[in-house]
Chain A
């Protein structure tokens, strides 16, 4: 099956700086790559996603890039704010309707 690796596991940035989280996947058939934000004690919330026919997608301060050749995708958060502090998960979806998640990145934004 698919294997998704996520780095780093923890990340601390100063407010206003950028944060980058990277994921790699193993199955070249994976074609959908969502990112979720999970606050403590809450459910994962979809924040942005990208499909395999697109190289980059932006939504305000959040962007995702996909490199299908290298099988990696990244989440970029610019102008970070304290409310961005949370655990972020990447995932990859295969044609078999299954989603495989990374192990998460705990982001702390220091005011």
Chain B
């Protein structure tokens, strides 16, 4: 597995609270991605980054924000968590952007 870690691995939080998920890589890859995985939907892109402080929206970005202040870290923030954001969140990295992506172990988030 590529050097990707996610923290926390599991989290239960209440509706309306802020939540931050962290993705950390040791591969020095330029591109980093956040996906959510839900039954019947596969993997859907939330946001991605193509460099430090360079980010863009994916197809399901509403309710999420991201930040990347260092090459190795990509943070996903839910400003005010809702039950519809209960999901498994995967981070991915890619050296060149258009090609091979490698996924982190995932974070299971439950919003009650």
Contact = CB atoms under 8 A, between A and B. Distances in A.
Interface of A: 1, 6, 31-32, 34, 36, 42-46, 49, 51, 89, 91, 93, 95, 97-104
A32 to B, nearest CB: 6
B101 A101 contact: no
B29 interface: no
A103 B44 CA distance: 10
Given A1-B59, A31-B98, A44-B43, A99 B33 contact: yes
A91 B45 CA distance: 12
A93 B98 contact: yes
B50 interface: yes
> A-side binding surface: helix, strand, loop or mixed?
strand
A97 to B, nearest CB: 4
Given A43-B104, A44-B103, A89 B42 contact: yes
A104 to B, nearest CB: 5
> Which 7 pairs between the two chains have the least Cβ-Cβ distance?
A101-B42, A101-B43, A43-B103, A103-B42, A97-B97, A44-B103, A104-B42
